[in-house]
Amino acid sequence: MNLSRTSPGMNDAPGLLYAGFNQDYGCFAIGLDTGFRVYNCHPLINQAKNESEDGGIGLVEMLYRTNYLALVGGGRNPRYPPNKVIIYDSIKAKPVLELEYKSEVKNVKLRKDRLTVVLQNKVFVYHFSLPPQLLHTFETCDNEKGLAAVSTSANHAILIIPGRQKGQLQIIDLNSLGYYISVGESDHTNNYIGSPQLPPLLTSDSSNSANSLTHNNSNGSANSSSTRRSINVSIIPAHTGKLSCLSLNQEGSRCATTSDKGTLIRVYNTATGSLLHELRRGVDRAEIYAIAFNQESTRLCVSSDKGTIHIFNLDPSVVTHMDHKPRGPTYGEVVSYPTQSPTNYGLTTTGNRGSALSFMKDLLPKYFSSEWSFANAKIPTESRCLVAFGEQKNSIIAICADGTCYKYYFDPRKGGECTRESFERFLKD
């Protein structure tokens, strides 16, 4: 959550510029106007920090629990130029690689084998090594928030980014971005400091001088004059409005999207592009801050500027089958019925709340066939927050812009209001 790209809150912690989970949601990092910190989630422990008067860090992307981080300068006094990506070794407390562009870096995503850099209208994908090898450049519509998500699966490497048109989603198979042989001039130039013959980044001794890589991104694809194999890219017209938040499950088989309206969350199959679920957060316009799948991809949690976290069921197998009378769209016992009939109104087949008039969905507006969350949690201060499922079963964690961390438990059978398990302040005044 880049706090400079979402609406500020009155309770925001001074000096907090960025917050983001690592790939397995076991850790999170924050960017400050004095540097950065890394915390363990279970329990909440400050594991690493680098703070000084050298300037602010506006983006911190972790690589699982390794000592490598991607940093971008930010705040009133950026430590690094906002158009540079710094790959930083937290053990040696020094940069090992710099990538420079002609415009501001909006986001960075890391996998063990891929490095993705997001600009306003371009996305660069590299093989993650020293030196990095550019695999492809993708064009997008205006992407001020730097929307992008990458799967963590080694066998199913998927990247999702906005398309060239408003509301479109690009689904990219990263394993199809093979190496290519250049047969002409490309639109980027390399300028390395030190030896370019370094071993792969994740196994190298990073005691060498930092490497720098400068890109001219003023034109089209960096590989328009290169020979390569076919790239697997799918385009989905996800929303009519501008995309506002993206998420992938760990396997890369499911993706979730919202628009700037913030009322609907749509879940797609990344292999076929088919719509699997359309979930309703509410009826009022909202700014979505985060979407996260659980590890099994059977549930989804969403946070917004309404100060409420919503939890949705995605798989009927997680719903407890009980003999219970049908009910209307209120929180309570979650029930799944084996068949859809006019008597099972009030619940969808996945156990989410539905309209009591859903049995007339073919005759009524689409609103009456919506799926509503089966559980929710309230952030007392209504601060901007990131949310994810915790390591403990049936738990969620919220990292808030006011410097606080909440843990909630939800009842997988009853749903309804979550129980607050703990509250801690990770960033004190």
Range of the domain at 351: 298-429
In a domain, 347, yes or no: yes
pLDDT at 279 over 60: yes
In a domain, 277, yes or no: no
Total structural domains within the chain? 1
Q: Which pLDDT score is estimated for 3?
A: 66
To which residue do tokens 């700037």 refer?
260
pLDDT at 200 over 70: no
Q: Kind and range of the H or E element at 184? A: none
Reported confidence tier of residue 214, pLDDT bands at 50, 70, 90: low
393 contact partners, CB below 8 Å, separation of at least 6 = none
Rounded (to 5) percent helix, strand, coil in the chain: 5, 45, 55
In a domain, 280, yes or no: no
- Per-residue pLDDT tens for 281-303? 888 888 999 999 999 999 999 99
In a domain, 406, yes or no: yes
In a domain, 15, yes or no: no
Q: Kind and range of the H or E element at 354? A: strand 353-354
Phi, psi of 254 (to 5 degrees): -130, 140
In a domain, 258, yes or no: no
| DSSP per position, 62-93 | E-TTSSEEEEEEESSSBSS-TTEEEEEETTTT
pLDDT at 334 over 80: no
pLDDT at 210 over 70: no
pTM for the model stands at 0.82
In a domain, 386, yes or no: yes
CB burial of 127-166 (b: ≥16 within 10 Å; e: otherwise) equals: bbbbbbebbbbbebbebebbbbbbbbeeebbbbbbbbeeb
In a domain, 279, yes or no: no
